[in-house]
Structures are given as C-alpha cells and as structure tokens.
C-alpha cells in the first residue's frame, strides 16, 4: 500500500464514485473511455538560458477528453509536477468545463521548473521554448492553455507572441491561449476571475443556507492569484480574513489581518516572505485554526485524513485543484463540514477564459462589468444546479457536482457516437 495518495489516485477515486452514482447509466466500456486520458505527452525543452548554457527541462501536456470541445487547462510550472499530476489536473478540467457549461474538454500542461529560481529573462526563454516545442499541441481547436500555479498573464502573452511570430502574422487568428494581458487580446477580469468566483460561490452557498458573510472569519491558504483575489473579494463581501499563508510564511490573528498591507507586500515582493505586518504562525497549524470559511488556494492534498479531524472551519471552499483527499472528504462529511468542490468553486477562471476565447474568435471587446456580470450569473446558476441535485438526492455537493459533470461528458460522447 502506498504511503500517500497522489493527485491522480484522488481524481480516479472521485471519478469512480461518480460512476457508481451514475450506476447503470454508463456501461463499463464507456466508463473506461471516460477514465483514460486521450493523449499524454512528455516533452524535452532545452533552451539556452542567459548564463550561455543549455538547460534541459521536462514538460508534459495531457489531453484527457475532448468530447465537449478543445482541451482547456492551465500550465503548471513547479519543480515537483509529474505527468500523473498533469493527468489528474487534465481530468479535473474535463469535469469542470462540463459542469460550468463551456464547450471545452479537459487538458493541462506542466513544466518541471521552479519559477522562484528563474530570473524574469530566463522564465521568458523557458516559456518560449515550451511554446516552440509544444506548438503542434496548442491550437484553438486542440488545446488552449492558460495560467496555473507558477505561470501568469505575462507568460501567456509570450505564448501568443511566440505562436504569431512563428506563423508570420501580427496576431493569431482565434484564441490559442487565454489569460493573456488585455492589451494582447486578453479579457478584463480574467486574472481575478477564479478568486472572484470562489467568493461568489461562498456567498451563494451561505445564502442558500440562510446565512451571509458579515463578520465571518476566513482563512486562506495560498496567497497567489487565486488566494489573494479570493481574500480581497471575501473581505469586500463582509468577511474578516484571520489567517493567510503562502509557501514561505503563515499569519494568523483572530482579530483580523491587515489585508491591504499583505496584498501590498505580496505585490511588491512577489510573495509574503519578509512581511512583518501580522503575527506569524506555523504553516501546519493554520488550517486547523478556528474559522467559519477555509479557502485552500495553494496546491493539492492539503486536507488529508491526518488533519481533517482537527479542521474547525464550517465551510471549505476549494480554490485550489484537489486540495482535499477522498479520505479527508469522508471525515469532513461525517463531521458536518461542508465542502464546495473544486470543479464548481474555482471554475470562474475557466468560465472567463471561455469569454476571452469567444471574444478573440469574434474580434470583439468585452468590458470588465460585462465579464463580472456574466461570471456572477454563471456561478449562481451552477451553484443552484449542484446544490439542488445534492438536496434532491441527499448527496454531498462534490458527488452532485461530479454526477452532473460526468453525465454531461457522457452525453457528448454518446452524441458523437462510437465509430470507427
Ligand atoms: P499561484 O502560483 O499564483 O499561487 C500559488 C500560491 O500558493 C503562492 O502564494 C504559493 O506561495 C502558495 N503555496 C504553494 N505551496 C504552499 C503551501 N504548501 N502552503 C501554503 N501556500 C503555498 O497559483 P494560482 O494560480 O493562485 O493557483 C493556486 C491553486 O488554484 C492551484 O491549485 C491551481 O491549480 C488552482 N486554480 C488556479 C486557477 C487560475 O485561474 N489561476 C484556476 C483554477 C484553479
């Protein structure tokens, strides 16, 4: 028996559970098709970095399922990312796109490198090297990347530039990548979309239970794009952030943290490292501190069988992908801690990526107000779908979300037919 479950084990376990809930609706041979990624590719990148030497990096692209449309999913840059992690994340993207109702399949990419150890120049070279090597996989009708952990909108701008340059055009026809700078065809509000979506999901779920965010104590793990924007949006909606962490440091103060100072420090220094604005706390203890809403917005497998019994939050909003293991899920459910599942909670990003995709395809421009309005409508609508399904069938929100998502992909597969 393995000491700990991987992201892929967790993703497979979540799918297995959904398939059980779907029962005889999906025959076994089709279930195997749903489980198995369509394509897993390992690439070798060997750019010459600014030190004049050739450096070799591994990268992965996984297309899990494209029954609903071109594969969509971010590029993770991390020294520890594996092909199996990318497979798990691609699979989660298949369900997320199907649940949030955009015509995309699930894909993901990974670059095995530590962004914190690269200069801005070297990171640009690496991103361009990835784009050149992965060019045949990236296309508006095949796989459309976006930012994920360790990559950002600047990197997406370089990807667009590298592709249009290699095609010999000033721009690309159609959307090869989303999450770009607005000036290069990006959409206003994309960078904030995932974090805003997390806050919208929290507000909507509390509303459905007859509560609101006023004075609610919030802990956010991860202070990058998703975590910092979610913290801001949750405070704007009336909550009080009492704990935050990033990879370097963690802070907790039951009276509330000076969020503006933390945001300013992170914007200036790229992380919370060296920040003295609040009382520090050991990383491992932060998730277990008392709060009303816990937002894991860092990485996978953070809430496990080991710490789930000690989590004091009443609601967990999964900003990160796969932060809760299936074992932790069972423990939390027994303890009455509600989890807004990742494929719903953090789907605001891919929804606004879809708006960017359509905007670029049609050479239109949307305002941030339009984007926020459409994001709000979609998050509310999909929360209603998941929570009504959960209520009717007496399932957890995760089971309900997976049921609706997998069923949609299955319907698309059926509509396409099985031949040849
Ligand atoms: P990011 O790189 O901008 O930020 C990640 C943050 O997590 C950083 O502050 C980092 O220091 C912190 N971190 C890493 N390990 C940590 C640990 N062990 N404890 C505490 N903090 C830790 O990444 P992001 O784009 O904000 O993505 C965060 C999560 O949200 C990932 O799981 C990602 O897959 C998921 N997600 C992102 C998007 C998006 O649009 N960016 C969309 C959906 C889901």
The DSSP symbol for 239 reads -
Is the minimum distance from the CB of 243 to ligand 1 under 6 angstroms? no
**Measuring CA to CA, which residue among 14, 46, 3 is closest to residue 318?**
14
Task: Quote the pLDDT of residue 419.
Answer: 81
Asked whether 353 and 177 are in contact (CB, 8 A), the reply is no
Which residue's alpha carbon is nearest to atom 5 within ligand 1? 224
Is the minimum distance from the CB of 251 to ligand 1 under 6 angstroms? no
Distance, CA 76 to ligand 1 centroid (Å)?
10
Q: Considering 63, 72, 96, 108, which one is annotated as catalytic?
A: 108
**Gap between the Cα atoms of 159 and 171, Å rounded:** 11
Task: Quote the pLDDT of residue 81.
Answer: 97
Question: Side-chain half-sphere of 141: how many Cα atoms within 13 Å?
Answer: 1
Is the minimum distance from the CB of 318 to ligand 1 under 6 angstroms? no
Atom of ligand 1 nearest to the CA of 151: 2
**Other CB atoms within 10 A of residue 274 CB:** 10
The residue that leads in pLDDT, 159 or 25, is: 159
Instruction: Tell me the per-residue pLDDT of 140-160, one tens digit each, with 9 for 90 and over.
Output: 999 999 999 999 999 999 999
Distance, CA 19 to ligand 1 centroid (Å)?
29
Asked whether 132 and 57 are in contact (CB, 8 A), the reply is no
Distance of CA 242 to CAs 212, 217, 221, 382, Å? 17, 6, 11, 29
- Annotation marks residue 108 as catalytic: yes
Is the minimum distance from the CB of 116 to ligand 1 under 6 angstroms? no
Question: Residue holding tokens 């990312």?
Answer: 81
Asked whether 350 and 326 are in contact (CB, 8 A), the reply is no
Question: Residue holding tokens 């704007």?
Answer: 236
Instruction: Tell me the per-residue pLDDT of 323-379, one tens digit each, with 9 for 90 and over.
Output: 999 999 999 999 999 999 999 999 999 999 999 999 999 888 999 999 999 999 999
Is the minimum distance from the CB of 221 to ligand 1 under 6 angstroms? yes
Burial 148-179 (b: 16+ CB within 10 A, else e): bbbbbbebbbbbbbbbbeeeeeeebeebbbbb
Atom of ligand 1 nearest to the CA of 250: 20
**Other CB atoms within 10 A of residue 278 CB:** 23
Mutate to test the pocket of ligand 1, among 149, 223, 269, 323 (most ligand atoms within 8 A of CB): 149
The DSSP symbol for 115 reads G
Task: Quote the pLDDT of residue 420.
Answer: 77
pLDDT band with cut points at 50, 70 and 90 for residue 23: confident
**Gap between the Cα atoms of 175 and 358, Å rounded:** 8
Atom of ligand 1 nearest to the CA of 302: 18
**62 phi/psi in degrees, rounded to 5:** -125, 130
Which residue's alpha carbon is nearest to atom 40 within ligand 1? 349
Torsion sign over Cα 146, 148, 150, 153: positive
pLDDT band with cut points at 50, 70 and 90 for residue 4: low
Average pLDDT over residues 38-43: 98
**248 phi/psi in degrees, rounded to 5:** -100, -35
> Can you give 333-359 as a three-state secondary structure string?
HHCCCEEECHHHHCCHHHHHHHHHHHH
**Gap between the Cα atoms of 151 and 225, Å rounded:** 10
Which residue's alpha carbon is nearest to atom 37 within ligand 1? 148
């Amino acid at each position: 028996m393995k000491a700990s479950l991987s992201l892929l084990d967790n993703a497979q376990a979540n799918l297995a559970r959904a398939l059980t809930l779907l029962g005889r609706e999906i025959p076994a041979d089709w279930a195997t098709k749903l489980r198995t990624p369509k394509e897993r590719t390992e690439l070798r990148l060997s750019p010459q970095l600014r030190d004049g030497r050739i450096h070799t990096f591994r990268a992965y692209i996984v297309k899990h399922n494209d029954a609903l449309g071109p594969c969509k999913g971010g590029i993770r840059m991390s020294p520890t990312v594996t092909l199996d992690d990318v497979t798990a994340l691609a699979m989660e993207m298949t369900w997320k796109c199907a649940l949030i109702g955009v015509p995309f399949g699930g894909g993901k990419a990974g670059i095995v490198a530590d962004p914190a150890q690269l200069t801005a120049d070297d990171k640009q070279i690496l991103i361009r090297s990835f784009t050149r090597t992965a060019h045949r996989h990236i296309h508006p009708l095949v796989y459309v990347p976006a930012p994920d952990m360790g990559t950002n909108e600047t990197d997406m701008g370089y990807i667009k530039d590298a592709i249009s340059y290699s095609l010999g055009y000033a721009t690309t026809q159609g959307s090869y990548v989303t999450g770009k700078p607005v000036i290069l065809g990006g959409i206003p509000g994309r960078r904030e979309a995932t974090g805003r979506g997390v806050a919208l999901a929290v507000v909507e779920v509390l509303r459905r239970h007859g509560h609101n965010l006023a004075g609610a104590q919030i802990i956010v793990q991860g202070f990058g794009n998703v975590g910092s924007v979610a913290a801001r949006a949750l405070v704007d909606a009336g909550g009080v952030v009492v704990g935050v962490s990033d990879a370097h440091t963690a802070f907790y103060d039951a009276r509330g943290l000076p969020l503006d100072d933390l945001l300013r420090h992170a914007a200036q220094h790229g992380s919370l490292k060296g920040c003295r604005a609040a009382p520090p706390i050991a990383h491992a203890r932060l998730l277990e501190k008392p709060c009303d809403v816990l937002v894991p917005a860092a990485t996978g497998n953070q809430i496990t069988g080991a710490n789930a019994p000690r989590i004091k939050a009443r609601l967990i909003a999964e900003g990160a992908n796969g932060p809760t293991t299936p074992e932790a899920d069972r423990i939390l459910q027994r303890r009455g801690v509600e989890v807004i599942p990742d494929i719903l909670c953090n789907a605001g990003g891919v929804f606004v990526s879809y708006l960017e995709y359509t905007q670029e395809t049609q050479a239109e421009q949307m305002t941030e107000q339009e984007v926020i309005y459409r994001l709000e409508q979609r998050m509310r609508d999909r929360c209603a779908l998941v929570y009504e399904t959960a209520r009717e069938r007496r399932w957890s929100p995760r089971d309900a979300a997976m049921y609706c998502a997998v069923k949609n992909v299955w319907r698309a597969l059926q509509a396409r037919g099985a031949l040849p």
